[in-house]
Chain A
Amino acid sequence: MSVGSVARRTMLTVGLPVVLVTAWWFATANSTNFFWPPLREILEAFADTWFSNRIMADVVPSLVRLLVGYVLALVLGIGLGVAIGSSRTLRGVVEPVLEFFRAIPPPVLVPILILFAGIGNEMKVLVIVSGCLWPVLLNTVEGVRGLDEVLRDTARCYGLGRRSQLTHLVLRGASPQIAVGARQALSIGIILMVISEMFAASNGVGFTIIQFQRTFAIPEMWSGIILLGLIGITLAFLFRLVESRALAWYRGLRMTQRGEG
């Protein structure tokens, strides 16, 4: 690749973001509007607010709750999904109920779960689990159902044990679909992490940002919005990284199939 084309690619990638941030910087540079403080102040507030003990006191607890809830939802969703997807009768019985649960907007679970679990960590983890569960569960069911019949029969003919059928055939075959559900679940999880803290909490990112907003600490509030954005972007990036490694075989398969077809 020539130097020119590398320069062009870099220009195209960073060009617009640089223009936008610069525009923000200069448009607000002398801003006296209370709601739109200068970007310089926001960035100073960002450093002051989040690079202090708040990282341990607010950011880490939020992320830990998200992680615990998300992992629990994955385990539960995949486990139940494999069971439901493998049995035609069971699927018929529970599918309408599952569709209903998926259709309930997850944030309404917050007031319900407050009743059961108070406003502590358990409630927040429960909220995240019960919101993230459905996309994972339904996509796993879909993935297991869509497994190639020939592969299934082949595995049976070769006398694969139940355990190796599960790991090599069922989970492997359903994994692209499971990844779709896991990605949806991640963005729902982030929403629920923030909502549950905004609704009722004593620490966490969502709680802190609402606190800034209520006390009219505007630059700090903006820094919180930026922080949430950065968390979202980082988690999406990490997810893509894991997904592309775990599903490398699938992309290769798709490419060869397309090349031949």
Chain B
Amino acid sequence: MTAALGLLGLLGFVGILELVPRIGLVDPRFLPPFSEMVAALGGEVGTPEFWAALGSTVRGWAIGLAIAVAAGVVLGMVIGSIPLLRAATTSTIEFLRPIPSVALIPLAVLLYGPSPQSTLLLVVYASFWQVLVQVLYGVQDVDPVARETARSYRFSAWTQVRRVTWPTTLPYVMTGFRLAAAVALILEITGELVIGSPGLGKQIAVAQSSGAVDTMYALVIVTGVFGVLVNLVARMLERRSLHWHPSVRGEVPR
């Protein structure tokens, strides 16, 4: 039932996109009919440039996200497990986190020019905080009784991390991962659009400045579809890795 309604909504939306420029409500030079966007997309898919751009975007996103998640998890576990370190870094983290990553664009351009590295810098900076903050919450959430028990039984530090801290933190890590995956995509596209590093964002800017409006819309649709896939995969990974966790187990109908 929901699927049918959703399909209806999507079809309706596509219909509106097709009709509005055709009956002249919007200038077709600004918003071409949906069929023309699809035709432009068909043309794009045949070119090697499109696949190269898509590849650059996916690669930059994946590398940036991987670095951010690895750094965020390791640093978060270390900082979170040592109370003194945590107390000493709280103000600094609170201060650095809200700094908008786009503020780094000029610096990135100066250091690396319009290369993938400058976009990578933005992606890593923006998504790192999402992960770090979630991991810190997670480590803080460890049940004191479980921790004391582990200590009483003289678990080694590594076993404590593996058996006590990590299982509690994992749901937070996955939340951080999901948020970071979306943020990383936003910054990847932003970097390509503004800095001009290779990728879909750059192709969109090129299409816009050369007046290829239908191609521009086609590429925007591609980034949207990629965004939807990112969200879906992140949610699936979350469920997979937390299949034992009550929050996920509870959703399965009995």
Contacts and interface: CB of A to CB of B under 8 A. Distances in A.
Nearest to A228: B103
A115 B207 CA distance: 12
Contact of A195 (B90, B95, B194, B219): B194
Nearest to A103: B227
B8 interface: yes
Given A92-B5, A96-B9, A97-B10, A103 B228 contact: yes
Given A14-B91, A15-B88, A213-B109, A105 B185 contact: yes
Interface residues of A, number: 57
Given A12-B87, A96-B10, A115-B30, A191 B190 contact: yes
B13 interface: yes
Interface string A227-249: 01101110111000000000000
B228 A100 contact: yes
Given A12-B87, A105-B186, A225-B106, A232 B6 contact: no
Contact of B231 (A99, A111, A187): A99
A221 interface: yes
B105 interface: yes
A243 B40 CA distance: 46
Given A232-B98, A233-B99, A116 B30 contact: yes
A101 B17 CA distance: 14
A225 B107 contact: yes
B144 interface: no
20 contacts: A12-B87, A16-B91, A17-B92, A89-B5, A92-B2, A103-B182, A103-B224, A105-B227, A107-B189, A107-B190, A107-B201, A111-B205, A194-B102, A206-B102, A212-B106, A213-B106, A218-B110, A221-B107, A225-B106, A229-B99
Interface in B197-243: 201, 204-205, 207-208, 213, 216-217, 219-220, 223-228, 230-231
A13 B90 contact: yes
Interface residues of B, number: 59
A93 interface: yes
Given A103-B224, A195-B190, A233-B95, A108 B201 contact: yes
A162 to B, nearest CB: 25
A213 B103 CA distance: 12
A35 interface: yes
B100 A108 contact: no
- Decide if the interface of chain B is mainly helix, strand, loop or mixed: helix
Contacts of B1: 92
B89 interface: yes
A188 B183 CA distance: 10
Contacts of A191: 100-102, 186, 190
A210 interface: yes
A213 B108 CA distance: 10
A190 interface: yes
B9 A194 contact: no
B186 A13 contact: no
Contacts of B110: 35, 213, 218, 221
